Structure 1
Amino acid sequence: MSQPEKHGVPDTTPAIVATALNGEFQMQDLSLTPLQEDEALVRIAAVGICHTELSILNGTIPSAFPRVLGHEGAGTIVSTGPSVPASFAPGAKVLLSFSHCAECGECKEGHPGYCDRAPDLVWEGRRADGSLTYWKNGQSAIRGGFFGQSSFAKYTVVHKSSMVKVPDDTDLKLLAPLGCGLQTGVGTIVNSLAVGKGTTVAVFGVGTVGLASVMGAKLKGAGVIIGIDIDDKRLQLARELGATHTILADDDGEGQIEQIKEICDGKGVERALDTTGIPLVIERMVESLSARGRAAIVGCPSPGKRASVDVVRFLNKGKQLVGAVEGDCVSSEFIPFMIEQHAAGNLPIERITKQYKAEDFMTAIEDMKAGRTVKPILVWD
């Protein structure tokens, strides 16, 4: 375990390391490198596990190894670099989300999810100067900085843009997943799809992001909320969280499209989102849209995957298809909004989460893979 120095800053930290492509996750003791001016050292209280981590380990999302993943962290600030705003003082509680440059056109226009520097700041695992945040035995380089946070560690170096200050009474162990999965689902409904009162909505895939979308659609007053999935237990949970209709998916894509249209008075659904990243499902989603309907792709497949559309029907019906990263949210604004909605009873995320001790990470992962847990949360002691 980590050995704190007299100033409260640890020399080392336990961390869950993705060792190699198609390798495994291992708990290792790593050394922390000194903070740069735009970084903070955060003691992680809890972190959600996302399918993104599994997709990186199995190669669906290309990556370099070894590295510390984790991008739904929550914790307490230990120390900060000189350019970190004074509001992020040691002792402040923070939820962590995705890093961004705050300087490019997309960031300045309020769309940091599409930051010009996202490939480097979110995915690369190195700082701008090429340095790393973790070392093993003072020799082996370990990539960190995943989403600007790499929160699969008890202590981690966090980019200032990833931090969202939250009230001192915030339940970090419960609300950690707001920084990605929940934000993506609710944000896509609110921002990318602009769902309003009476809107008809279809959600393809009701895992964490899909169930968050269901809750978001209910929050926005959608008239019809259709959940589509291959798991009847997940569909039951979707109904409990706000879905007005559910469809058990099978190989009969045409049948699913017809069911959706029948539910929507034969016109098709006005808004839809796909969380699976499966091209065939995306094609069915587009076919199920009404005239001037809009659909969003949220699920991430491996690079090079393509989905096709019937161009004439797409054109003549005025359909729209957009990509949605992190729900097109400004996290510093949207995470407080979700905290308020949770407090009001509108986002009962405790229904889809389960907490595990950090050392039981493999049990949490296996439970997620098997569908026994929707959103595992690892808790550091």
Structure 2
Amino acid sequence: MKVKAAVINGVNEKYRFEELTLGELYPDEVLVKVVATGMCHSDEALRIGDAEYPMPAVFGHEGAGIIEKVGSAVKDFAVGDQIVMAYNYCGICPSCRTGHPSSCNDWTPLNFGNPRSDGTHTFYKKDGTPVSNFFTQSSFSTYTITNAMNIIKVDPEADLRLVGPLGCGLLTGFGTVVNGLKPEIASSIAIFGTGAVGLGALMTAKIEGCSQIIAIDIHDSRLEMAKELGATHTINSRTENLRERIDEITGAVGVNYTIDTTGISSVMKSSLDILAIGGSTAPLAVTPNSLEFNPFTELTITSRNVLGILMGDAIPQLAIPELIQFHKEGKFPFEKLVKFYKFDEINEASQDSNSGKTIKPILIVDENYREDDLLMGG
């Protein structure tokens, strides 16, 4: 089967549309017609080489679409089902069986470009060159093959043009708060970086009952959005003294919980430095940068914690329906973060995301999905 895909052929190259061939559908897989897909910072990090990845590759891991074909071993899904795609996991290792699939023993080989266990791929170029998959999903394509473990069925009335980002960025922000940090009611939290992950965490902190929700960024427009979504305080760390403002807000006690989404070494260090005694920080960014600290003076004496939390430690099949319900109730208004682009505008969308012009770009891959109009570019 021939598909149109946005391919990255080398580090720091632009997306280039190519006709690829889909490989064979395996028994535990489904064929998906992609309707829309979010663009995530992780796609960009791999494109520019912040983490090594086998090229050529088709990225995209916030896809939503409609099942076109079902493998013989797949249960509980049928042709025509609307689905959101997340990450793959084995389902049988100790982590998976205790409710932590993002800590799956095989998480990296299943999600980061490796071929299937028999050496075959899901995408090939015209000359037979294999093209790496991402998250067993690769949603920057008109059609894709994904594993049954990746998919979450959503209501037939759900608008697939909106819900794709629930599969990664927003899931990560939500899960980091609910499953990772687990803030007590009336506790304080500071979030560094107000992109999709940070604002997803912020909205969740409000749902969880945090009394002080501090958004920290260098863009006033982003901070205004943070206020609209529930921030009780905002700090522009470019124009304000971070330490003084935190002392002012917390009575010099510090913050109970912090999240860093920037991946900048000095910012990650700040997220640790402003913690209260017994506080916890979660650095989330895909970054080549390091966080340096003295574990005795900065952790042990103050009983602080640095937590590694991948994909929000969330079970997508449970968390994504919950997020959709929160959205229906007006508690998780993530539609305020998005801007829609045509699939052919992927390089523009990537540039707008990098510049901060757009918080969450969503590519409309199938413009014929529904008859009702969707405001493109707005």
TM-score normalized with structure 2 length? 0.94
Q: Unaligned 5+ residue runs, structure 1? A: 1-10
Corresponding residue for residue 160 of structure 1: 148
Q: How does 1:1-381 map to 2 (within 5 A)?
A: 11-85=1-75, 87-144=76-133, 146-250=134-238, 255-302=241-288, 305-309=290-294, 311-381=296-366
Q: Secondary structure at the match of 2:176?
A: helix
Q: Does the residue aligned with 2:348 lie in a helix, a strand or coil? A: helix
4+ long deviations beyond 4 Å: none
Which whole-Å CA distance do the structure 1 matches of 2:16 and 2:132 have between them? 14
Deviations 1:23-62 (A, max 9, x none): 2211111111111111110001000001111111111011
Is contact 1:31–1:138 with CA below 8 Å preserved after alignment?
A: no
CA contact (8 A) 2:45 2:286 kept: no
Q: Secondary structure at the match of 1:210?
A: helix
Contact kept in structure 2, 1:357 and 1:380, CA below 8 Å? yes
Q: Which one-letter code corresponds to 1:345 in the other structure?
A: G
Deviation of residue 169 (structure 1)?
0.8
Match of 2:135, SS state, is: helix
User: AA paired with 1:296?
Assistant: A
CA displacement 1:315-355 (0-9 Å, x = unmatched): 12211110111111000000000000000000111100011
**Superimposed CA distance per residue, residues 131-173 of structure 1 (whole angstroms, 9 cap, x where no aligned partner):** 11111115222112x1111111010000111101111111110
- SS at 1:147 equivalent: coil
CA distance in 2, matches of 1:148, 1:216: 27
Distance in 1 (alpha carbons) for counterparts of 2:304 and 2:247: 15
Identity score, percent: 36
CA displacement at 1:310 relative to structure 2 = 5.7
- Checking the alignment, whether the CA contact within 8 Å between 1:45 and 1:75 is kept in structure 2 is yes
CA contact (8 A) 2:65 2:84 kept: yes
CA shift, 1:104, in A, is 1.0
On the 8 A contact 1:282/1:307 being kept in 2, the answer is no
Q: Which structure 2 residue ranges, 5 or more long, are not aligned?
A: 367-378
Secondary structure, aligned partner of 1:148: coil
Q: Is residue 14–residue 347 contact of structure 2 (8 Å, CA) maintained in 1?
A: no
Per-residue displacement from partner, 1:78-129 (whole Å, max 9, x unpaired)?
A: 11212211x1111111100011111111111111111111111011242122
Partner AA of 2:70 in structure 1: T
Are 1:203 and 1:273, in contact at CA under 8 Å, matched by a contact in 2? yes
Distance (Å, rounded) in 2 between the aligned partners of 1:378 and 1:354: 9
Q: Does structure 2 conserve the Cα–Cα contact (< 8 Å) formed by 1:37 and 1:83?
A: yes
Q: CA offset at residue 273 of structure 1?
A: 0.6
What's the offset of the Cα at 1:12? 0.5
2: CA distance, partners of 1:149 / 1:99: 8
Deviations 1:232-259 (A, max 9, x none): 111111111111111111398xx41332
Aligned length: 366
Contact 1:226/1:244 (CA < 8 Å) preserved in 2? Answer: yes
Matched to 2:190, the amino acid is A
- Partner Cα separation in structure 2 for residue 109 and residue 279 of structure 1: 33
Cα pair 1:261 1:269 within 8 Å, conserved = no
Aligned equivalents of 1:71, 1:106: Cα separation in 2: 22
Supply the AA of the counterpart residue of 2:59: L
Maintained 8 Å contact 2:171/2:312: yes
Contact 2:268 2:291 in 1 (8 A): no
Cα distance in 1 for residues equivalent to 2:262 and 2:316: 23
- Give, as a single letter, the amino acid of the residue that structure 2 aligns with 1:224: Q
Q: For residues 295-320 of structure 1, what are the alpha-carbon distances to aligned partners after superposition, in whole Å with 9 as ceiling and x for unaligned?
A: 11111212x73422462242122111
Whether the 8 Å contact between 1:66 and 1:142 is mirrored in structure 2 is: yes
Kindly indicate whether the alpha-carbon contact (under 8 Å) linking 1:280 and 1:307 is maintained by their aligned counterparts in 2.
no
Q: Specify the SS of the correspondent of 1:68.
A: coil
Q: 2: distance between equivalents of 1:374 and 1:73?
A: 17
Distance apart, 1:65 and its partner CA: 0.4
Q: Give TM-score, length-normalised by structure 1.
A: 0.93
Give the root-mean-square deviation of aligned CA atoms.
Answer: 1.4
